[in-house]
Amino acid sequence: MSERTLVLVKPDGVRRGVVGEVVSRIERKGLKLVALELRTLPRETAEAHYGEHSSKPFFGELVDFITGGPLVAMVVEGPRAIEAFRALAGATDPVKATPGTVRGDFALEIGENIVHGSDSTDSAAREIKLFFPELG
């Protein structure tokens, strides 16, 4: 059965010029793009997206970072797309991420880890609605 996940190439990934690389890995894996857009997030959207982290000490930094430049938001679809993309992304901490994953290949710092992927079916539904309400 097919499912959908929200993927972000965060502002560090856009700045580094790895959007094509990330899209290419998604497509090579066999996942399909359902929506894709370059945009700069308003603070309210960023705060809603990262709501579960609002009490963390790095929340302000996280919102500053994710709103600090254009990002690429995508909806990606396929069998077990949530888990499949998280495997392509690698561990949240890029130093621990296996080489061959996006974070393992392109990042060093946890706060600038190139990509985001929804972590569950519930968060995928919530995040897709927030970024692409028209897909609802």
Of 70 and 111, the one with the shorter C-beta distance to ligand CMP is 111
Give the footprint of ligand CMP on residues 51-90 (CB under 6 A): 53, 58, 61-62
Residue 31 tokens read as 């996942």
Alpha carbons 32 and 75: distance in angstroms, whole number: 8
Closest CA to 12 of 62, 57, 60: 62
Considering the rule CB under 6 A, would residue 113 count as an interface residue with ligand CMP?
yes
Is 65 assigned a ligand-binding role in the annotation?
Answer: no
Is 80 assigned a ligand-binding role in the annotation?
Answer: no
Alpha carbons 96 and 94: distance in angstroms, whole number: 5
Catalytic annotation, residues? 116
Q: How far is the CB of 118 from ligand CMP (least distance, A)?
A: 9
Cite the beta strand spans of the chain per DSSP E: 2-9, 32-39, 71-79, 115-117
Of 1 and 132, the one with the shorter C-beta distance to ligand CMP is 132
Of 35 and 91, the one with the shorter C-beta distance to ligand CMP is 91
Strand order in the sheet with 32-39: 32-39, 71-79, 2-9, 115-117
Do 131 and 73 contact (CB within 8 A), yes or no? yes
Q: How far is the CB of 33 from ligand CMP (least distance, A)?
A: 19
Considering the rule CB under 6 A, would residue 92 count as an interface residue with ligand CMP?
yes
Binding site for ligand CMP (CB under 6 A): 53, 58, 61-62, 92, 110-111, 113, 116
Annotated binding site: 10, 58, 86, 92, 103, 113
